[in-house]
């Protein structure tokens, strides 16, 4: 081989490398553009859409009782929803009670026993309790004339347990896609991600599927460096130490995605202890007020919000439609809204359950229910 031939070979290899880099850069740029376009609708102020036909909700709710069982009362997001459901219930004459628990299945069973014994009309399983784990209890409730429903649990792609009277699915797969598109845009298509999940909670699966699929499509240069899987009952004891260890072992991590925002109360201390608070982005989902406060403080970067007050109205609406033998909405009609440093103050300082989303839903439901 001559010196000239060698130079030609090196030149060809260099040209191919440059061309490949250019193609890769173009792919990344196109992915970021797609992600920006996909995020645009979630940056707009939410709009109220009626979930069904108007009805006299006070007549429907008269002398009715509803027991809400969250997967854990330690979850501020669920606690906030139920507290607002109680307030809505007071206005329409519906008694709403919470079965407080620490996320133990045996405690959920006790909640069913209480509802049956105290003649409740409906049991609403809120976010995280799989009906498949309490089939004997649902059967007993049905036999006693107590309806059992779920809200904020199934993804629209799921097949609900047939023993349920009705369900209010949430687009968890959609949420995963929003999170992935946000990571794509805010890391210029090159994010190193720490994913914090609870795979024991069924909605986690479609959410993570959505995240991974869109990340692969729009951000091929992004990488999920590590996934931390922690059961709900162990968030308080395991998330902080696990995140801290991950950051120390992988200093290139530049985004943490705790998929449920109440996890953030354990992520933020880990960032503080590792000296990465403010430099590592945090993107999450739910819109819990204390996490919106974190955004205003600069500890969290983004939270996909759902108005807890809006969820409460929509959940009460659907359960009353079910009790009065009316068609139930196919999904929880609560839009998603992205909060970041540009608009988090709209939620109040400190943030509130029912601010930042506008008030169209309040007047919308009141008119729908015949209260105005």
Distance CA 144, CA 329 (A): 25
In percent, the amount of the chain with pLDDT more than 70 equals: 93
Global pTM reads 0.85
Query: How confident is the model over 24-39, as pLDDT tens digits?
Result: 566 778 999 999 999 9
Copy the structure tokens of residue 173. Answer: 């797969």
Confidence band (pLDDT; 50, 70, 90) for 19?
A: very low
Confidence band (pLDDT; 50, 70, 90) for 4?
A: low
With 0-12 / 13-18 / 19 or more C-beta atoms within 10 angstroms meaning exposed / middle / buried, residue 310 is: buried
Who contacts 188 (Cβ-Cβ below 8 Å, separation ≥6)? Answer: 28, 32
Confidence band (pLDDT; 50, 70, 90) for 9?
A: low
Copy the structure tokens of residue 371. Answer: 């209260």
With 0-12 / 13-18 / 19 or more C-beta atoms within 10 angstroms meaning exposed / middle / buried, residue 18 is: exposed
**What are the chain's domains?**
57-170+308-334+361-368 (3.40.50.2300)
The residue to which tokens 């209260």 are assigned:
371
- In whole numbers, what is the pLDDT of the chain averaged over residues? 93
Confidence band (pLDDT; 50, 70, 90) for 166?
A: very high
Confidence band (pLDDT; 50, 70, 90) for 54?
A: very high
Average confidence (pLDDT) over 153-175 = 96
Query: How confident is the model over 333-350, as pLDDT tens digits?
Result: 899 999 999 999 999 999
Q: Of 202 and 154, which is predicted with more confidence?
A: 154
Lowest mean pLDDT among 6-15, 28-37, 307-316: 6-15
pLDDT exceeds 60 at position 17: no
The residue to which tokens 């459901």 are assigned:
85
- pLDDT computed for residue 10 by the predictor: 57
In percent, the amount of the chain with pLDDT more than 90 equals: 86
Q: How many residues does the chain have?
A: 372
3-state SS of 174-233? HHHHHHHHHHHHHCCCCCEEEEEECCCCCCHHHHHHHHHHHHHHHCCCCEEEEEEECCHH
- pLDDT computed for residue 28 by the predictor: 79
- pLDDT computed for residue 354 by the predictor: 78
Average confidence (pLDDT) over 72-101 = 95
- pLDDT computed for residue 16 by the predictor: 53
* 289-297 helix and 76-92 helix, angle to the nearest 10 degrees: 130
- pLDDT computed for residue 147 by the predictor: 99
Average confidence (pLDDT) over 45-59 = 96
Query: How confident is the model over 210-232, as pLDDT tens digits?
Result: 999 999 999 999 999 999 999 99
Query: How confident is the model over 231-290, as pLDDT tens digits?
Result: 998 999 999 999 999 999 999 999 999 999 999 999 999 999 999 999 999 999 999 999
- pLDDT computed for residue 286 by the predictor: 92
């Amino acid at each position: 081989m001559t010196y000239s031939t060698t130079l030609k070979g090196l030149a060809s290899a260099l040209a191919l490398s440059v061309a490949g880099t250019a193609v890769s850069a173009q792919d990344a740029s196109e992915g970021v553009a797609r992600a920006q376009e996909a995020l645009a609708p979630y940056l707009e102020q939410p709009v109220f859409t009626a979930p069904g036909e108007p009805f006299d909700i006070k007549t429907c709710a008269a002398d009715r009782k509803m027991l809400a069982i969250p997967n854990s009362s330690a979850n501020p997001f669920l606690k906030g929803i139920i507290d607002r459901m109680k307030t809505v219930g007071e206005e329409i004459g519906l008694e709403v009670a919470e079965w407080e628990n620490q996320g133990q299945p045996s405690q959920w069973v006790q909640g069913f026993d209480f509802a049956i014994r105290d003649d409740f009309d409906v049991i609403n399983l809120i976010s995280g309790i799989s009906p498949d784990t309490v089939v004997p209890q649902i059967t007993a409730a049905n036999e006693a004339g107590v309806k059992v429903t779920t809200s904020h649990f199934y993804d629209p792609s799921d097949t609900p347990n047939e023993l349920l009277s009705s369900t209010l699915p949430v687009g968890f797969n959609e949420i995963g896609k929003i999170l992935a598109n946000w990571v794509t845009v805010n890391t210029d298509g090159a994010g190193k991600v720490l994913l914090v999940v609870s795979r024991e909670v069924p909605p986690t699966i479609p959410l993570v599927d959505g995240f991974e699929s869109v990340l692969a499509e729009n951000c091929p240069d992004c990488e999920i460096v590590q996934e931390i899987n922690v059961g709900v009952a162990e968030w308080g004891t395991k998330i902080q130490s696990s995140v801290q260890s991950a950051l120390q072992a992988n200093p290139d991590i530049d985004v943490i995605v705790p998929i449920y925002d109440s996890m953030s109360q354990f992520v933020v201390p880990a960032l503080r202890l590792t000296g990465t608070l403010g430099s590592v982005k945090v993107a999450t989902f739910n819109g819990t007020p204390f996490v919106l406060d974190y955004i205003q403080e600069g500890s969290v970067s983004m939270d996909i919000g759902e108005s807890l007050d809006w969820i409460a109205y929509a959940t009460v609406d659907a359960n009353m439609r079910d009790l009065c033998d009316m068609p139930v909405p196919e999904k929880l009609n609560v839009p998603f809204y992205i909060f970041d440093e540009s608009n988090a103050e709209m939620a109040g300082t400190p943030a509130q359950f029912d601010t930042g989303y506008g008030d169209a839903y309040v007047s919308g439901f009141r008119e729908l229910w015949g209260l105005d």
